[in-house]
Structure 1
Amino acid sequence: MLKSNLINALFLGSILFIVSLTMFPDTSLDIGVKPGGVNFIPFYTIGGLLFQDSLRDFAVNNFGNIILFIPFGFLLPLNFKGIDSTFKACSVGLMLSMIIEVLQLFMSNRWTDIDDVILNTIGTGIGYMLFRWISLIYK
């Protein structure tokens, strides 16, 4: 019982952390403090940050979006036994990311960006694969 409560709390915490960074401004990371916009062109923002902005901006946006969803992907199969493949985990991560991006359409200081969906889905997949790898080690 204690174990399942801890896993549930960690899973909820991962979702709340995602919501806090994607819905509320964070001046220390320079997130959500400038006017937002929309990008529906895959890899446009990733390429723009790589070739036109600072390495810091590239790392915060790209690696940040991936790392943000790794705990979610790791904890997903612990909370839902039906999540038994990378495809299923990535599908859930994709749906969560799409919900966030649609909500950001209505927020003047946030970007709705297809690249975020791609990166968040990758992060979910990495988290799930880490879970599977660690599960294999402990079996």
Structure 2
Amino acid sequence: MSKNTLINILFLGSILFIMKLTIFPQESLGIGSDSGGINLVPFRTSGYIFLHETFIKFIINILGNIILFLPFGLFLTMRFKKINRLWKCIVFGSIFSISIEIVQLSIPNRWTDVDDVILNTLGTAIGYAIYKIIDKKKMYLQED
């Protein structure tokens, strides 16, 4: 299997995994099991969870949304060499996240939340940064 084929599979896998967790109910994770709604106020949901839920639930919500999109940012950058700037990766990550939130508008028991877009985009940016670190280390190793 070639390196490009592996990158393509991993990139597609990251997209499918995101869609599985965001579009389809995940009762075991508490996703899609309660009534849904819309939040357009940044950090309202995160603040509510922090103040009124357990700290563990807050961490799971924050880290879960970030980690979910981290592989997408990593493999997006590996797959498309023209996405060579942080802002380009952020644009793609936010467009993908916004698209998911729009789809969730039509799904019962799902939340459309600007906090998710912010955290997912942050995860995409962290994935990009990880790629850049790996790429830089790879260049240093080749010079030795």
TM over 0.5: yes
Secondary structure of residue in 1 paired with 2:4: helix
Query: Which residue of structure 1 lines up, in the alignment, with residue 23 of structure 2?
Result: 23
**Residue 112 of structure 1 pairs with residue 112 of structure 2:** yes
Query: Which residue of structure 2 lines up, in the alignment, with residue 129 of structure 1?
Result: 129
Query: Which residue of structure 1 lines up, in the alignment, with residue 45 of structure 2?
Result: 45
5+ long unaligned stretches in structure 1: none
Contact 1:29-1:60 at 8 Å conserved across structures? no
Query: Which residue of structure 2 lines up, in the alignment, with residue 13 of structure 1?
Result: 13
Q: Which moved more, 1:24-33 or 1:65-74?
A: 24-33
Secondary structure of residue in 2 paired with 1:28: helix
Identity, % of aligned positions: 50
Instruction: Tell me the TM-score normalized by structure 1.
Output: 0.97
1:65-90: CA deviation from partner (whole Å, max 9, x where unpaired): 00000000001111111100111101
Larger Rg: 2
**Residue 88 of structure 1 pairs with residue 88 of structure 2:** yes
5+ long unaligned stretches in structure 2: 140-144
How many residue pairs end up in the alignment?
Answer: 139
Query: What displacement does 1:55 show?
Result: 1.7
Quote the RMSD (CA, aligned, Å): 0.9
Query: What displacement does 1:56 show?
Result: 2.4
Q: Distance in 2 between matches of 1:32 and 1:54?
A: 19
